[in-house]
Structure 1
Amino acid sequence: MRIEFVQGDISNQPEIEAVVNAANKELRTGGGVAGAIHRKAGSDLEEAGRPYAPLKPGEAVVTEGFGLPNKYVIHTLGPVYGVDEPSEELLGSCYRESLKRAEENDMKSVAFPLISTGAFGYPLEAGIRVALETVENYSSLSERLELVRFVIFSDEEFEVFRRIYESRS
């Protein structure tokens, strides 16, 4: 399994089978990542998420991609930092459970945003470390996944991600 990172828009990853939505517990349109994904996917995405709501922190579910260039959306609810505990374990579960849903659905590629590091207040560097550690640890268990891509939106977050990623090699 190859791990890569790019700067860009999570809702515009046409060569990836599934994008991960940093969802809210009701799987509704919101701000940030969820807003971008829902706007591009269309109203069918919110409707498809209804049967899975409310999602608990660390859980992940799969729906169709609808208007996105991706076949699937994997929705996961990250922990609110300082509220949902143990936050590190719950954040790791978001990545792990998303990867499990990808494998269960025979996906070969998945793209992640940085989960919980925006409005949910998870410290950026700590969140990146949990993300990389969890995905790297999972890679030895993976039977189907060929590519995991991290899609980082802002210049600042991209530079922090790049620094941490390169220091791990």
Structure 2
Amino acid sequence: MIYERGKSSISLKIADITTLECDCIVNAANKTLLGGGGVDGAIHRAAGPGLLQECYYLHGCNTGEAKITKGYQLKAKWVIHTVGPIYSGREEDSFMLQNCYWNSLNLAKEYSIHSLAFPAISTGAYGYPLREANYISLSSILKWLQENQDYEMHVILVCFNERFYEEYQKSFQKIVLE
């Protein structure tokens, strides 16, 4: 556990997001929501064909927005799909990435979800620099928890390797010391 405040917490975990036991996992999706590579492909494969079928009827998702589906064959009951920005170095990228986290957390609250696992959105094929993306994700989550103190939310930041884990730890220490 790296952060606890009132009813809520943020923790880091090196894991395969598709195997986590929590209410909901977040999918770093593409705009079609119909599967792809990386986390998106892994979630679609693990959830089974029902996820693809439900996503088809959502008619895609814009960058920074979030949509929800059932978890199907996953341990998580729900999947929130959010589309991160393709990194260009513009200020708009940061805003869109913040929206991914903020809108996912708002949607989770709307569905009475109390444990939510995030991958490092946009840091794979979309090219967002890891350190910058981690700082944005942690800042966004901490701000959301501060503004929703009455709501119990346990956020798991899922790292697929030790390097991502160490970068999240550094980012968290930087934010706490500000």
Q: Is the 8 A contact 1:3 1:147 kept in 2?
A: yes
Worse-superposed segment, 94-103 or 133-142:
133-142
What is the aligned partner in structure 1 of residue 136 from structure 2? Answer: 130
CA distance in 1: counterparts of 2:49 and 2:84, whole angstroms: 22
Deviation of the 1:85 alpha carbon: 6.3
Worse-superposed segment, 103-112 or 136-145:
136-145
CA distance in 2: counterparts of 1:85 and 1:38, whole angstroms: 31
Q: 1:140 aligns with which of 146, 150, 153?
A: 146
Counterpart code for 2:146: S
Give the secondary structure class of the aligned counterpart of 1:52. Answer: coil
What is the aligned partner in structure 2 of residue 4 from structure 1? Answer: 11
CA distance in 1: counterparts of 2:153 and 2:110, whole angstroms: 14
Q: 1:36 aligns with which of 42, 55, 61?
A: 42
Worse-superposed segment, 108-117 or 82-91:
82-91
Taking structure 2 as the reference length, what is the TM-score of the superposition? 0.90
What is the aligned partner in structure 2 of residue 64 from structure 1? Answer: 70
Counterpart code for 1:141: E
1:151 to 2:158 alignment: yes
* Aligned 1:28-107 pairs, distance under 5 A: 28-82=34-88, 86-107=92-113
CA distance in 2: counterparts of 1:124 and 1:151, whole angstroms: 13
What is the aligned partner in structure 2 of residue 22 from structure 1? Answer: 28
CA distance in 1: counterparts of 2:165 and 2:48, whole angstroms: 28
Length, aligned pairs only:
168
CA RMSD of aligned residues (A): 1.4
1:112-159 CA-partner distances (Å, limit 9, x unpaired): 000001100111100000000000000022243320110010221111
Counterpart code for 1:39: R
1:53-97 CA-partner distances (Å, limit 9, x unpaired): 221100001100000001100000000011886100000000000
Deviation of the 1:52 alpha carbon: 1.9
Structure 2, unmatched stretches of 5+, are 1-7
Give the secondary structure class of the aligned counterpart of 2:17. Answer: coil
Q: Identity of paired residues, percent? A: 37
* Aligned 1:111-126 pairs, distance under 5 A: 111-126=117-132
Taking structure 1 as the reference length, what is the TM-score of the superposition? 0.94
